[in-house]
Amino acid sequence: MTAFALAITASVAASQDQRGTPRKETVAPKKGVVPVRPAPERKVPEIVEPSKGTKGPFHDLKVAMGLLTKARVGAARQLLEKVVKDAPKFGEAWHQLALCHELGNNAEAAQQSASMALRCEPKHARAALLLARLSLREDPVLASDYARRANQNAASDVAVRRDAAHILMDTGNLDEAHEIAESLAKNDPTNQRLLTLRSELAIAMRDFDTATKHLQTLALLRPGDPLPYENLAGIAWSRGHQAEAISALEHALRRRPKPEARKRLIQWLEESGAPAERIAAERRELQKVVPETPSEEPAERPKPVGR
């Protein structure tokens, strides 16, 4: 075949190739440009498959949580019952359902739902914390175990770890609770809820100097709150510092005139030998809030009935 014939044959082949399936050409990327690759196909979890009449369990869960924030507990519970029926391995849905039952004062149902949440997701820290709270009165040992589990799996959830420490304190595990609280305080030393917990722990451990320090910080952070001053007063009185205790309690009463605190102040004034005029003035202040009930006169005896 001549060179001219070879050229014609090649031209025809190229023409046929153009009319057929186009060739896939690879274009080299320009220097400094990263080639764009198609994203891998994501697998849709089973729990997001649409359920009848809704957009799916994930969507229903969000709606139920919104209902809970609006205190519509009954509506949230009904929707969550549908979610766990459609997606029985959805741990967070079981947890939210347990919260609904707890808010409805159904402790038994709350425990069952929270246990299901842990069965679906063994590291569900908030479900473990809920079980710790529900078990606290009947079984403090079990409550402690759940609290430890919640703390272990809470990762960076400060609220869960703080509440777990509080339960451990309530069950007498002071050293464990103290360790958790102090580790959290390293990252947020002026966190008010943590300071409250740390002051309570210090009082329980009879470390009154540390408790006083935390309460004084709280008094600065919450100038309108009487509670830090009430606790400071209690510590001072227990240590025999009567004048300091009375002064702190007066600070608390100026912030909120609580009858219980006023009664305690009157008792302390009497025990410390304060002037009668001072005690009488405090009694008058107390009567403005809780007026004394006059004693009832004895009923007149019925006259004898003649025979």
- Domains within the chain, CATH numbers bracketed: 223-289 (1.25.40)
Tokens at 106, concatenated: 């159904």
Picking from 61, 92, 58, 95, the residue whose alpha carbon sits closest to that of residue 76 is: 61
Residue 262 CA to residue 127 CA, distance in Å, equals: 41
Asked whether the predicted pLDDT for residue 38 surpasses 80, the reply is no
pTM of the model: 0.73
The residue among 154 and 45 whose pLDDT is bigger is 154
- Looking at the chain, the whole-number percentage of residues with pLDDT higher than 90 is 66
Q: Which of 9-13, 64-68, 73-77, 279-283 is most confident?
A: 279-283
Residue 45: predicted pLDDT: 39
Which pair of tokens denotes residue 270?
Answer: 């009497």
Mean pLDDT of the residues in the chain: 84
Distance CA 235, CA 76 (A): 45
pLDDT digits (tens, 9 = 90+) for 130-147: 999 999 999 999 999 999
Of 18-32, 97-111, 214-228, 246-260, the poorest mean pLDDT is in 18-32
Token code pair at residue 216: 């004084």
